[in-house]
Chains A and B, each alone.
Chain A
Amino acid sequence: MSPHDHPPRFRTQFDPNNQEFSIAGVVRPQSIDELAPSITLLRDSIAQVRGVFYVNIKRLTQMNNTAFHVFSRVIIDACRTRPELKFVIITSSVVGWTTRKFTMLNGVEPNITVEEYDREFYPGQDFLEEGGFIPILRTQTRMTWRHERKILPRHGMRSGITMADICCGIGDFAVLVQKEFQPFRIVALDHSKSSLSYARKVASEFDVRGIEYTYGDASEMLLEDNQFDLVTCRHSLQIFNKPELILKELYRIVKPGGRVYVTNEKISQCLGEPRGESIQWTYEELSKLFAHFKMDLELGPKNRRYLIEAGFQDIRVESFMVTNLDGDPQEFADVVQSWEDTFAGEMARRRGDSAQFIERFRQGFQDHIFAALHPKGYAGWPIWVASGQKPL
């Protein structure tokens, strides 16, 4: 057996429109000869560009020093022969070694810089991951769990499975799943270090075992292909500006025959009585506010289309309404209050909304709370659920 008996586990390509050369996968050659076509492509690509040449390594999971040296050599040589050219190496913060390793090249040639790309994909993340939001996230999960614990078995949840909860946030859903269904293994991934830190603390304090919390980018995960029986991704596609990229990754990591389960909202359909009109106006405006920050809080009913377009089959769709009658109405009111604080607070201010608008915007949330706590009132928050099977 020789290295040539195996197909290469990496790929390189050049996108001339973006002047971007990308390397992805595991690059561990025995000799540089194995890289000859890729090196030729890199040299040819550099020869075609002007200004800035991007080297995209955000999906490069492993690269040995043999490969690092030969790729670096080409770039360093180009810096010397074409000093007008800038090289930007795009890394992902998820792959622990790449940024440190490639930043070394800046010490050799200042025209080589390294940028971690991750933030671009999460334009709204900072609104939602601030520490103050954590208690409310826990309450939200508790409210949706009353419904989801009955729904999940229809979408592939059962004991003994290997599952992943992608965009796990503070990890409380994974804990509830662990207690209720006892999967064999849960990998819970999120891109918020503060949320993961909280999740680990809770798991440790409550001695919850069997959940592996991992820092990761849902659109570029380190997880291997075809690993999980069930992959859940709740309330998350709606806050990414490119949900199809996440779905592609969910599809990749789920086993053939396994299912991907997603939940999303259609926030404009939050409702309540009395004061229904004011409530409706506010949630329609809330939907527009999220759209301004490239998040689609109307995504719920589009779950089915997204799953079909990602290649899933046997799509199962349902919806449920979290209401003030499910449990303690005060919990519902607390959640709506936190929405008002965040969305009519920092988020509206950042869009540049007028004081007059914000006042009316806030009123709808207050009316929703009024409906939730009214002895004859009804307040609802609808959630759309869908799952699809990866073809065998």
Chain B
Amino acid sequence: MKIQTFMSTWLYCDHMSTYLARMISHNRSDSIRYANLFSSAFNELLEIAFRTRHPGGELACKVSRLGDVDRIELTFPCTIEERQFFEEAIARAQGSESRERYLHSVSGDLAPSREVVLLELAIDYNATLRLEEVDTNIIKLIVDLPLESLPH
């Protein structure tokens, strides 16, 4: 999907996350709960891509499953500064102080940055995050979500 088409309509994030969540959840142990959780996480990732500052390129998304883990691979264009930001944010999200950072961010006065989303995925969803550089201005955000084993 062209990123500009995607960015023309905010509701695409919601529609895509809801649709895909339903599609992949039917054979999970609790399809309704799983779809709700997956949609919640996936929508945040799509909103990250929606807010890219790069004007052109394409959005690509691949979802795969290995056992209890669903992997989302979201490829989208971004500026060099944004790529650097994501690299640092992912390192912090995987770091030992991620919870403190998250709480600090929630209690802060500033509007939430895209880092909060990554922190939340790591803390609340036990997600493992990774970044791959596809091209100078394109990144691939890889998120492993072990939703099936999340405590109720």
Contacts and interface: CB of A to CB of B under 8 A. Distances in A.
The yes or no verdict on A and B being binding partners is yes
Interface of A: 1-3, 6, 26, 28, 30, 32, 61-62, 64-66, 68-69, 72-73, 76, 93-97, 100-101, 104-105, 107-109, 187, 189, 193, 196, 200, 212-216, 222-223
Given A30-B10, A32-B111, A69-B111, A214 B40 contact: no
Max chain B C-beta neighbours (<10 A), residue from A65, A105, A193: A65
Interface in B106-138: 106-107, 109, 111-112, 116-117, 120, 123-125
B36 interface: yes
B152 A101 contact: no
A215 B152 CA distance: 10
Given A65-B112, A97-B37, A214-B33, 9 more contacts: A3-B11, A65-B47, A69-B116, A73-B109, A76-B106, A96-B37, A97-B40, A214-B32, A215-B32
Nearest to B26: A212
A214 B28 CA distance: 10
Interface string B85-97: 0000000000000
Contact of B120 (A61, A101, A193): A101
A61 B13 CA distance: 16
Q: Is chain A's interface secondary structure helix, strand, loop, or mixed overall?
A: mixed
B150 interface: yes
A312 to B, nearest CB: 24
Contacts of B14: 26, 28, 62
Max chain A C-beta neighbours (<10 A), residue from B14, B31, B109: B14
B57 to A, nearest CB: 21
Max chain A C-beta neighbours (<10 A), residue from B9, B13, B31, B32: B32
A29 B106 CA distance: 17
Given A61-B36, A69-B112, A97-B37, A215 B13 contact: no
Contacts of B125: 97
Contact of A108 (B29, B103, B123): B103
Contacts of B106: 69, 72, 76, 104-105, 108
B108 to A, nearest CB: 9
Contacts of B9: 1-2
B8 A1 contact: yes
Contacts of A100: 124
A62 B33 CA distance: 12
B76 interface: no
A390 to B, nearest CB: 21
Interface string B37-81: 101100110010000000000000000000000000000000000
Contacts of A216: 32-33
Contact of B30 (A2, A30, A73, A213): A213
A165 to B, nearest CB: 13
A109 B103 CA distance: 10
Contacts of B103: 104, 107-108
Contacts of B26: 212
Q: Is chain B's interface secondary structure helix, strand, loop, or mixed overall?
A: helix
A125 B151 CA distance: 22
Nearest to B150: A96
18 contacts: A2-B10, A26-B14, A28-B14, A64-B47, A65-B47, A68-B112, A69-B111, A69-B112, A69-B116, A72-B106, A97-B125, A101-B124, A105-B106, A196-B30, A200-B29, A212-B32, A215-B152, A222-B36
B40 A213 contact: no
B125 to A, nearest CB: 8
B96 to A, nearest CB: 16
Contacts of A189: 32
A222 B107 CA distance: 30
B36 A97 contact: yes
Given A28-B14, A100-B124, A104-B103, A64 B33 contact: no
B103 to A, nearest CB: 5
Closest 10 CB pairs of A and B: A214-B32, A30-B10, A108-B107, A69-B112, A212-B31, A96-B37, A214-B30, A3-B10, A107-B103, A65-B112
Contacts of B8: 1
A81 B109 CA distance: 15
B112 to A, nearest CB: 4
B111 A222 contact: no
Contacts of B102: 104
